[in-house]
Each structure stands twice: as C-alpha cells, then as structure tokens.
Amino acid sequence: MASLVKSLRTVALATLASRILGLVRDLLMAAYFGAGRVADIFFIAFIIPNLFRRLVAEGALSVSFIPVYTESMLKNGRVHSRRFASDVLIIQTFAVTIIVAAGIVLAPQLTAVFSDESMTPELYVLAVNLTRLMLPYIILSSVVAFAMGYLNSHGAFFAPASSTVLLNLGMITGIVLAGRYFEQPVYGAAIGVLSGGILQVLLQIPYMVKHGFRLCFKINFSNPELSTVFRTMLPAVLGIAAFQVNALISNLLAAMIEEGSVSYIYYTTRLTELVFGVFIVSIGNVMLPEMSRVRASAAGLQGNRVRASVESIPEMNRIISGSISAAMFVAAPAAAGLIAAGLPIVSFIFMRGNFTYLDSVMTYRSLVWAGTGLIFMALARVVIPAFYTFKDTRIPVITSIISVAVNLILGYLLMHTVLKHAGLTFAGCIASLVHSALLLKYLAARHGVRYPGKTVKQLFKILLSSAVMGLAVFYSVTFVDWQHGPVLLRAVALTLIICGGAVLYYLCSLALRVDEALYLHVRVRAYFR
C-alpha cells in the first residue's frame, strides 16, 4: 500500500505541475487571443492532435500494452519481454506516421469537418495551416504514450507524468515569443506544440534506457503477444475514448452555435481537467500495473480471458474499491467547489486582455454542469482499467458507444434551447452518469467484483462532506465583487475561500471517519513529529 501511495503521489505532483503550467498557458491564450475567432481557429486545429494525445496519454495504449507486457515478463523473462516491447514501439510508430502523413494531405477536408459556414477564406487557410503544423505532434505523443506503459510496468511513474510539463513550457514559450517572429502570433502556439512534443520524447529516453529498453529493428512478427496487443488496442481506444469523444462532440456542436462557444467549452474543459488529469487519471494509471500483476500472478498465467481466477478476486475487490473511494474523495469536493466558486475562479484566472467578464459568466454556465459530471467521469475512469486487466474489451466499448450516443443526441437537442453551450456540458454530465452506472453494473455481474457496504457508506460520507463545503463556499463568494474588485483583493479572497473550503471538507470528512481523511491525518501528524 505504501508503494502505491508513493507512486500515486509522484504522478499526482508531476501532473499538478503540468496542469498549473497548463493554466498559465491558457491564461496567456485568453490574454493574447480572448474568446474570438482566432482562438476558436487554434482550438479547432488542435482538436485532432490533442484528442489523440489525450487518448493515449490517459491510458488507451497502456491498457492494451501493460497487461500483456506484465504477463510476458513473468512468463518469458525480461530479455524476451523487452524485445517484444521494442517490436510494439516500432510497429506503432510506423503506423502512426502513415496516419499523420494522410492527415497532412487531407488537412483541408479535416478542417472543413470542424468548421462552420461563417468561417472566412482567410481563417479557413489559417485553420488548415495550423492543422498541418500540429499533426506531427501525434507521432511524438504516441512515443510518449508507449514510454508511459513501459515505464509504469517497471514501477517508474515520474518521467511519463512529467512529460506534459514540457509540452506546456513549449506552448508558453511559443505564445510569448510569437509576436516577435510571426505576423499571425497564433503560429507561435502551434510551433510551441511541436517543440514541446520533442522535449517530451527526449525526457523519456534516459529513463527507458535505465529500465533496460533497447531498440531492435529485427521484428519478430510471429510473436503472438504482438497480435494480442494490436488486436486489443482498438477496443482499448474505443473503450476509454468516451471522455475524449464526448469532448470532441461538444467542440463540434459548439462551433455551430454563437461566436466564442468553442472557447467557453475549451476553458471549461481545462478547469475540470485540472482535477481529472491530476488525480483521477493518476489513480487509474497507477492502479492498472498493480491490478495486472495481481491478475497475472493469481491466475497462474493460464490465459483466462473472461473471469479472474478465484484467488485474485478478493485482492481485486480491495484495489477497485480503494480506487473508487480515493477518486471520489477528490472528485466530489472538486465538483462542489467548481459549482460554488466557478465564476470567481474563471474571472480571476482568465479575465484579462480580450477575455471579458461576460466571457467569464458564459464559461461558468457550462462549468456548472461539467463540474457535476466530474463525479461520474471519475467513477468511470478508475473502473475501466479493471476490465482490461480481466482482458474484457467488449463491455468498455459497448458502454463507451452508449455514452457517446447519449451525449450526441442530448447535446444536439439542448444546444437549441436557452442553455445553448451550457446544454452541451449538461448532456456530457448525463452521458457520464449513464457510462459509470453501466460500467459498475457489468463489473459486478461479469467479473464477480463486489462493492462492500463499507465502501458505499464511505462514498455517502464523502458526498455529505462535499455538500457542506460547497454550501459554505457558495455563501462566502457573495461578499466579493469579482468583476470590479481590485486584483489583489480578489486574489486574497479567492485563496482564503478555497483554502477554507478545503479545511472544512477535511474536518467534516475526519469527523465522519472517512478512510482517506483518517489516512491523511495520520500522515500529517507523522510529518510534523
């Protein structure tokens, strides 16, 4: 347990640094480009490479590679397994390069899919150029994703988790320096994406070498493990893609509404991802290698593809229940905080330059529902890796398709109501609710996973503590003028409100004897002794 907590802390801290830099990047984007057409064009051009990055970086590649690679190490030894890993990287990189080349050729057609009739010819050309410029980043992000799977299997989490720090640094540098070298400054942000991707790959290399990775260009195509990985990779992508495809749908539909809607959705997503990426994805990424080891060892390497062995079920129950509880301990108060203090947060972070208070209000309208959906997204994200540990690719794909269908239908209907762009995040919230409910149901029905009464009680206590904190924060923010108040006053007030809310949540959780709060209390006391 101690090693898992240490790994989770490493991933969370590295990801937190990345998300903070991501907020700085978004702050600069908002200040330089606001929520107008140029910003919308950049976000449209960044949709495809960013979608791919988020898919692979948040585990779609890892869930197909880690279970097979872990089993290979136990069954065939390190020499064979590392040769197998080299084969996976080479084949994957070759395939992705072909896809990127096709995307560059078809960039005008791809851009047309994500644009609307109001786009002028000049802006359309800009969108095509930006798309072509950023598409090669997909190759770089696929290499980083492979490194994450390989290093995580060896218990190394720092380098993969830190890689997006370099991506954000590249983009920040590009945005700041763009005005000096480009007539259209947004090109600087695009070049920053590519330079950040190169730095990401360079960071992984020494860690890969340290853990024994060596490239071998003589591929063993007869290795059945290769076919297993690539056969399950597409279902793995589809199974975990609901989060990203739903975000893509929101962007596509937002482009059909009024100017600025794409930017409102983008900034909303950035704030929710600060929690989702730092903690929820970190929990899933750390738990997947652990579950794979438990499953491979307890199953006796018999290749059972549908149900875990009897020996592994109690331990799997413990890991899954602990993951759910840990995810909710973070997601529930974060959701309450975003709902209660979302407008002050948005206005303080983004309201400068071309980003107005009205833009803050419009972003907050969508943030309310996105914050609510964060709870259900957290549940789904920590449960999905368990299915791939059991080598069950069918259920995640089916539930993902259902979630996307619900989001698409509801989003299209609600965008034509008074909700407008907020209707898109409301639809995403409902889709995430359906997704998580189906996953929990089938994990119990197909694989014998049980959710102890203690876990259910813990979740209720977490929700109650979050509600108390949310009400207190909602009341507190009414005492400050977030539109016209001095920047320093707003900064101090927001800091005090957030810190006070966190302390109140911690004390409520401690009083209700929530396991995570008790563990945190013990660690804090030990630290100050």
Give me the average pLDDT of each 10-residue run along the chain (529 residues).
59 74 80 72 78 64 78 82 90 90 89 71 85 91 88 83 86 81 80 92 93 87 83 76 81 82 85 71 60 57 45 69 84 92 90 84 93 90 81 86 94 91 93 94 82 83 95 93 88 93 93 85 71
pLDDT (0 to 100) of residue 507: 94
Both 61 and 109 in a single domain?
Answer: yes
* Cα three-residue angle 64-306-452, rounded to 5 degrees: 95
Both 249 and 207 in a single domain?
Answer: no
CB 108 within 8 A of CB 119: no
Both 305 and 381 in a single domain?
Answer: yes
Which tokens hold the place of 279? Answer: 């903690």
Both 262 and 172 in a single domain?
Answer: no
| Domain of residue 11, residue span | 1-238
Domain end among 238, 264, 281: 238
Domain end among 189, 218, 238: 238
Amino acid identity of 129? Answer: N
Dihedral pair phi/psi, residue 334, rounded to 5°: -65, -40
DSSP 278: I
Both 164 and 59 in a single domain?
Answer: yes
Both 330 and 413 in a single domain?
Answer: yes
303: closest CA among 382, 237, 224?
A: 224
Both 131 and 259 in a single domain?
Answer: no
* CA-to-CA dists, residue 351 to 357, 368, 483, angstroms: 6, 18, 9
Both 227 and 275 in a single domain?
Answer: no
User: How far apart are the C-alpha atoms of 84 and 72, rounded to whole Å?
Assistant: 9
User: How far apart are the C-alpha atoms of 380 and 182, rounded to whole Å?
Assistant: 43
Q: How many structural domains comprise the chain?
A: 2
Both 304 and 366 in a single domain?
Answer: yes
Give Cβ neighbours of residue 136 (< 8 Å, ≥ 6 apart): 100, 104, 194, 197
Give me the DSSP letters along 108-146: HHHHHHH--TT--HHHHHHHHHHHHHHTTHHHHHHHHHH
Both 459 and 490 in a single domain?
Answer: yes
Domain end among 203, 238, 273: 238
Which tokens hold the place of 18? Answer: 């990345």
pLDDT (0 to 100) of residue 55: 66
Give Cβ neighbours of residue 429 (< 8 Å, ≥ 6 apart): 369, 370, 372, 373, 376
Both 174 and 293 in a single domain?
Answer: no
pLDDT (0 to 100) of residue 301: 44
Both 147 and 263 in a single domain?
Answer: no
